[in-house]
């Protein structure tokens, strides 16, 4: 019987049905235009683009241009690729243009779908970014779709790591630019470390279409992008702090061994304040609770942890003057591994070892905040609906399920639950053997590389020929995954492996042709193509007859979305297919969630050794368990984001300021404003408003006038004059310092002065910002530690980081004013020397940034440590034509990279 809700859905349609229905008139319009566009000549299509571009520039709404633009794009793509876009692809394109996530199943042709909104939105001339999960896909899609854009008279670019600057800039200048999320984020950060506008490579953040959007905006959004570099040497600080730790008594702090946290008691705080003051670490009148004390508190915390929570020869050993960590589970030394946030340095200080330099963040951004920069965002994936809440809340993105072009014919079986992992794996091997004998191709999904390997061993023992993949070697993998649909193929892959590559029944024609040409270079490519295409048709039929692709999942992932993704690799475009999940009570998810209850129910259902329970109830309760984990992960991401949001507002201010400085020819007004503010602050500090003359500190004002403004003026005399007050003093100081600076500018020559101002401003901003980033990192760990009674750490973080930022702006003004007041015209030799120094400094900075980003990019790209020629896992992503990394001397494609 249908529930009431289901009946209502039948009658009124779901909200999603209504959204889909709403696009039908638009699709009909595009279809009606088709005959007209079919008649256009190839030039006619390009002219149409020019016309649409003009109309867009003249202010016509993109929504009104949509039908013609889509019709033109469909025609262009048909000619360039030989693919006529399905109505469902137009629909997906409409949803993307409207700023949604279009959920389109695997094999529905999302790559082509994206060209429609990309084309439409590029008409404005502001560029569109198409974002992919890895460099291989960025390149593949750019190459493939550039045919379409060229036919339409638009330019296509692709951005990749370590690309020469000029090329990168050119790629961003294209109408449509393909890039990975990593490279986009890094370019954004790098751009904002440049000192001239012309060196920046990105332009507008107009519209981004993110492919595999769940992977990028959810899975990868847990870790921010970071560019880091060496910090200045702070060995002294560590050593000093280390000395005072032993003076702390037990009642000064509490230890939490489990979370490895320390918290100071109120007594401890008081004692510390005195102690730090005696050691000259805490300026007079400053409390440990002041935001200025953040870094100090952080260091004390780390020092205390180093002493009380880390024990020599248990947690670490000292070898050759170095602190080497010990793995708590295996007891092995972990050479090269270092604790972060200055904790390792604190232990080094404790053990009198040489203090190794720290790496600090030079720039960072989360993907959430990077992608929020875009005026409009759209996304595509096969699986988004389960995460609709997060997309809506964090990115303001709606999720629309686009109907499939053909009905799905895949059969999804209920989960089969075994008692133990061993029984489960035995059953899996049996099933694979049985199915493999029929020729039906099998894709086996695992949740980790280790499990893939385990299964591979079992299959080898059972003498089943198979391929093993993990999600690291994108290009090579794409080829093997593409062939996973061949008759008799058995492919083991982690769930994420080969994402973005379509598995076609009977194998991938293009890959087959490429291989055939490589194997037989003498035959004409057209002949090869003809032969392969003919063979392929029968291959495809044979696989269809065998039941299509069989997806065998060996465990449920924490996230149902990832499970659905795996499932969705079978049954593309109405193909036959089957999917089945094999589980056991030993699985992580089962153990963590309600397995006791499960246990009872399962035994009441009567579980026997080697036999599986298959019951809809199991599916339901697992779905609930997954929803719980997903909810928790969302909370973690939200919390992280809240912290980053605080910094993000500040980052935006700083980056905007930098930009303004670079864009502005003449900064004198900004610099004058800064000086005025500094004078205001000086006067206020020494001549409090509405105060009596005997409360004035004219001597102090005199001294700071010399220090900050570089002028020696009779402040005391002015103050003694009839009717003098803070306002008259302020005015006279402004007048005098203005005069002084104007004279200086004349001596330098206005052009030189403007250049100096610009240099100085940028340099000072950058230095202050980096220092601020470090302080914020410290603050974050400190708000967690401090005994803040009932106060909310996030609120504390917000308030304090705001104060710190305010302090940053203050000291920025002050430093710029003081330094400008101090400079004097130089002799030609001195001038040359100064220019040389500036140039050297700039090169140095560029080098640091380059090295840092390179390291970051490498880390982001290849999480593979230590190359080992005997272990293909460590080879990264070899080029198919390069020598095989195993050292055989053969080409990679004929050796370990061989596809057969």
Considering the rule CB under 6 A, would residue 134 count as an interface residue with ligand ADP? no
By C-beta, is 295 or 501 nearer to ligand ADP? Answer: 501
Count of residues interacting with ligand ADP (CB under 6 A): 14
Token representation of residue 636: 């973690």
For residues 79 and 473, what is the distance between their CA atoms, to the nearest angstrom?
33
User: Which of 84, 337, 632, 847: binder of ligand ADP (CB under 6 A)?
Assistant: 84
By C-beta, is 74 or 190 nearer to ligand ADP? Answer: 74
User: Which of 23, 49, 111, 456: binder of ligand ADP (CB under 6 A)?
Assistant: 111
Q: To 10 degrees, what angle do helices 87-97 and 15-38 make? A: 110
Residue 205 near residue 158, CB atoms below 8 Å: no
Token representation of residue 701: 């004002």
For residues 316 and 331, what is the distance between their CA atoms, to the nearest angstrom?
10
Applying the rule CB under 5 A, the residues between 162 and 191 that interact with Mg ion are: none
Considering the rule CB under 6 A, would residue 401 count as an interface residue with ligand ADP? no
For residues 586 and 205, what is the distance between their CA atoms, to the nearest angstrom?
48
Q: Enumerate the H helices of 710-749 as residue ranges.
A: 715-720, 726-748
Considering the rule CB under 6 A, would residue 175 count as an interface residue with ligand ADP? no
Chain Cα centroid distance, residue 661: 28
Considering the rule CB under 5 A, would residue 500 count as an interface residue with Mg ion? yes
Which of ligand ADP, Mg ion, none does residue 86 bind (CB under 5 to 8 Å by kind)? ligand ADP
For the CB of residue 602, give the shortest distance to ligand ADP in the complex, in Å. 37
Output DSSP code: residue 82: S
For the CB of residue 209, give the shortest distance to ligand ADP in the complex, in Å. 12
Considering the rule CB under 6 A, would residue 408 count as an interface residue with ligand ADP? no
Token representation of residue 783: 């708000």
Binding mask 796-835 for Mg ion (x = CB under 5 A): ----------------------------------------
For the CB of residue 150, give the shortest distance to Mg ion in the complex, in Å. 21
Considering the rule CB under 5 A, would residue 110 count as an interface residue with Mg ion? yes
By C-beta, is 142 or 682 nearer to ligand ADP? Answer: 142
For the CB of residue 495, give the shortest distance to ligand ADP in the complex, in Å. 15
453 CB-contact burial (10 Å; exposed 0-12 / middle 13-18 / buried 19+) = middle
Considering the rule CB under 6 A, would residue 86 count as an interface residue with ligand ADP? yes
For the CB of residue 333, give the shortest distance to ligand ADP in the complex, in Å. 46
Token representation of residue 190: 């790098």
Nearest residue to 442 (alpha-carbon basis) of 552, 350, 556, 566: 552
Which of ligand ADP, Mg ion, none does residue 107 bind (CB under 5 to 8 Å by kind)? ligand ADP
Considering the rule CB under 6 A, would residue 108 count as an interface residue with ligand ADP? yes
For the CB of residue 481, give the shortest distance to ligand ADP in the complex, in Å. 11
Chain Cα centroid distance, residue 690: 53
Report which residue's Cβ sits closest to ligand ADP. Answer: 109
Token representation of residue 229: 């570099």
User: Per CB under 6 A, which region of 16-24, 100-108, 605-613, 636-644 contacts ligand ADP?
Assistant: 100-108
Sign, Cα dihedral of 895, 897, 899, 900: positive
User: Per CB under 5 A, which region of 83-91, 103-111, 677-685, 831-839 contacts Mg ion?
Assistant: 103-111
Residue 741 near residue 675, CB atoms below 8 Å: yes
437 contacts: CB under 8 Å, gap ≥ 6: none
For the CB of residue 436, give the shortest distance to Mg ion in the complex, in Å. 28
For the CB of residue 104, give the shortest distance to ligand ADP in the complex, in Å. 6
Which of ligand ADP, Mg ion, none does residue 502 bind (CB under 5 to 8 Å by kind)? ligand ADP
Q: Alpha carbon of 341 to those of 189, 312, 406, 854: distances in Å?
A: 22, 19, 54, 22
Helix (H) or strand (E) holding 433, with range, is helix 421-437
User: Which of 69, 85, 394, 709: binder of ligand ADP (CB under 6 A)?
Assistant: 85
By C-beta, is 187 or 387 nearer to ligand ADP? Answer: 387
By C-beta, is 110 or 344 nearer to ligand ADP? Answer: 110
Considering the rule CB under 6 A, would residue 104 count as an interface residue with ligand ADP? yes
User: Per CB under 6 A, which region of 80-88, 305-313, 576-584, 597-605 contacts ligand ADP?
Assistant: 80-88
Residue 492 near residue 452, CB atoms below 8 Å: yes
Nearest residue to 220 (alpha-carbon basis) of 211, 228, 229, 208: 211
Find the Cα–Cα–Cα–Cα dihedral 238, 240, 241, 246, rounded to 10°: 130
Considering the rule CB under 6 A, would residue 88 count as an interface residue with ligand ADP? no
Find the Cα–Cα–Cα–Cα dihedral 311, 317, 318, 322, rounded to 10°: -110
Applying the rule CB under 6 A, the residues between 476 and 505 that interact with ligand ADP are: 502
Q: Alpha carbon of 732 to those of 296, 454, 710: distances in Å?
A: 40, 82, 15
Considering the rule CB under 6 A, would residue 568 count as an interface residue with ligand ADP? no
Which of Mg ion, ligand ADP, none does residue 109 bind (CB under 5 to 8 Å by kind)? ligand ADP
Nearest residue to 86 (alpha-carbon basis) of 562, 441, 573: 573
User: Per CB under 6 A, which region of 78-86, 196-204, 292-300, 450-458 contacts ligand ADP?
Assistant: 78-86
Which residues sit at the interface with ligand ADP, rule CB under 6 A?
83-86, 89, 104, 106-112, 502
Interface residue list for Mg ion (CB under 5 A): 110, 500
């Amino acid at each position: 019987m249908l529930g009431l809700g289901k009946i209502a859905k039948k009658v009124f349609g779901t909200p999603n049905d209504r959204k889909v229905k709403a696009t039908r008139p638009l699709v009909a319009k595009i279809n009606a235009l088709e005959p007209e566009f079919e008649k256009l000549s190839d030039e006619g299509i390009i002219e149409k683009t020019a016309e649409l571009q003009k109309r867009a520039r003249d202010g016509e709404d993109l929504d009104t241009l949509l039908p013609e633009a889509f019709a033109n794009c469909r025609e262009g793509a048909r000619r360039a690729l030989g693919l006529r876009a399905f109505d469902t692809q137009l629909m997906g394109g409409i949803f993307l243009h409207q700023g949604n996530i279009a959920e389109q199943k695997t094999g529905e042709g999302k790559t082509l779908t994206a060209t429609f909104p990309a084309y439409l939105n590029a008409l404005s001339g502001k560029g569109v970014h198409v974002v992919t999960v890895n460099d291989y896909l960025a390149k593949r899609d750019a190459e493939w779709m550039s045919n379409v854009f060229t036919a339409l008279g638009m330019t296509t670019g692709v951005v990749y790591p370590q690309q020469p600057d000029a090329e990168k800039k050119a790629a961003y200048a294209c109408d449509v630019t393909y890039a990975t999320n990593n490279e986009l984020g890094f370019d954004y950060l790098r751009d904002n470390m440049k000192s001239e506008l012309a060196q920046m490579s990105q332009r507008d953040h107009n519209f981004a279409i993110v492919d595999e959007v769940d992977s990028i905006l959810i899975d990868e959004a847990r870790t921010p992008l970071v560019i880091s570099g060496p910090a200045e040497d702070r060995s002294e600080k560590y050593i000093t702090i280390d000395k005072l730790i032993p003076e702390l008594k037990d009642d000064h702090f509490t230890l939490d061994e489990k979370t490895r946290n320390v918290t100071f008691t109120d007594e401890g705080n008081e004692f510390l304040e005195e102690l730090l003051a005696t050691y000259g670490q805490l300026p007079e009148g400053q409390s440990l609770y002041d935001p200025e004390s953040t870094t100090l508190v952080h260091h004390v915390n780390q020092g205390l942890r180093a002493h009380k929570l880390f024990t020599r020869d248990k947690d670490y050993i000292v070898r050759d003057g170095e602190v080497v960590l010990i793995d708590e589970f295996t007891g092995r030394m972990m050479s090269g591994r270092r604790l972060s946030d200055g904790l390792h340095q604190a232990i080094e200080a404790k053990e009198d070892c040489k203090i190794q330099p720290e790496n600090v963040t030079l720039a960072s951004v989360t993907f959430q905040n990077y992608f929020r920069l875009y005026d409009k965002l759209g996304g595509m994936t096969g699986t988004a609906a389960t995460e609709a809440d997060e997309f809506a809340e964090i990115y303001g993105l709606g999720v629309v399920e686009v109907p499939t072009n053909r009905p799905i014919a895949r059969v999804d079986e209920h989960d089969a639950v075994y008692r133990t992992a061993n029984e489960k794996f035995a059953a899996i091997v049996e099933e694979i053997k049985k199915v493999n004998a029929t020729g039906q191709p099998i894709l086996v999904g695992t949740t980790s590389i280790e499990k893939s390997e385990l299964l591979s061993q079992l299959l080898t023992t059972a003498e089943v020929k198979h391929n093993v993949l993990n999600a690291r070697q994108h290009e090579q993998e794409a080829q093997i995954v593409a062939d996973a649909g061949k008759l008799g193929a058995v492919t083991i892959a982690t769930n994420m492996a080969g994402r973005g590559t379509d598995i076609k029944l009977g194998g991938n024609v293009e890959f087959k042709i490429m291989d055939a040409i490589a194997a037989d270079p003498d035959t004409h490519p057209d002949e090869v193509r003809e032969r392969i295409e003919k063979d392929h048709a029968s291959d495809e039929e044979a696989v269809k007859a065998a039941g299509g692709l069989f997806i065998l999942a060996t465990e449920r992932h924490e996230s149902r979305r990832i499970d659905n993704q795996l499932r969705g690799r079978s049954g593309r475009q109405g193909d036959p297919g089957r999917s089945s999940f094999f589980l056991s009570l030993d699985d992580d998810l089962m153990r963590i969630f309600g397995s006791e209850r499960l246990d009872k129910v399962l035994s009441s259902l009567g579980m026997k050794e080697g036999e599986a329970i298959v019951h809809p109830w199991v599916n339901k309760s697992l779905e609930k368990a997954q929803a719980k984990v997903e909810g928790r992960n969302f909370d973690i991401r939200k919390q992280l984001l809240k912290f980053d949001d605080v910094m993000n507002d500040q980052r935006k201010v700083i980056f905007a300021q930098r930009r303004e400085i670079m864009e502005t020819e003449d900064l004198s007004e900004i610099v004058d404003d800064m000086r005025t503010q500094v004078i205001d602050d000086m006067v206020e500090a020494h001549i409090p408003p509405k105060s009596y003359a005997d409360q004035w500190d004219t001597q102090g004002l005199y001294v700071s006038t010399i220090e900050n403004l570089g002028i020696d003026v009779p402040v005391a005399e002015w103050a003694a004059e009839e009717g003098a007050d803070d306002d008259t003093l302020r005015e006279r100081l402004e007048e005098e310092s203005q005069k002084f600076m104007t004279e200086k500018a004349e001596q330098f020559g206005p052009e030189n002065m403007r250049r100096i101002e610009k240099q100085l401003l940028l340099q000072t901003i950058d230095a202050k910002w980096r220092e601020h980033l470090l302080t914020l990192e410290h603050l974050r760990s400190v708000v967690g530690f401090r005994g803040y009674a009932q106060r909310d750490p996030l609120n504390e973080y917000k308030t304090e980081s705001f104060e710190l930022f305010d302090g940053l702006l203050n000291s920025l003004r002050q430093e710029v004013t003081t330094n400008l007041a101090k400079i004097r015209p130089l002799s030609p030799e001195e001038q040359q020397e100064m220019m040389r120094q500036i140039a050297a400094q700039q090169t140095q900075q560029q080098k640091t940034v380059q090295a840092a980003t390179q390291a970051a990019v490498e880390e982001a790209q290849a999480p593979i440590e230590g190359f080992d020629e005997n272990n293909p896992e460590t080879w990264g992503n070899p080029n198919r034509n390069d020598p095989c990394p195993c050292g055989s001397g053969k080409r990679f494609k004929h050796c370990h990279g061989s596809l057969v």
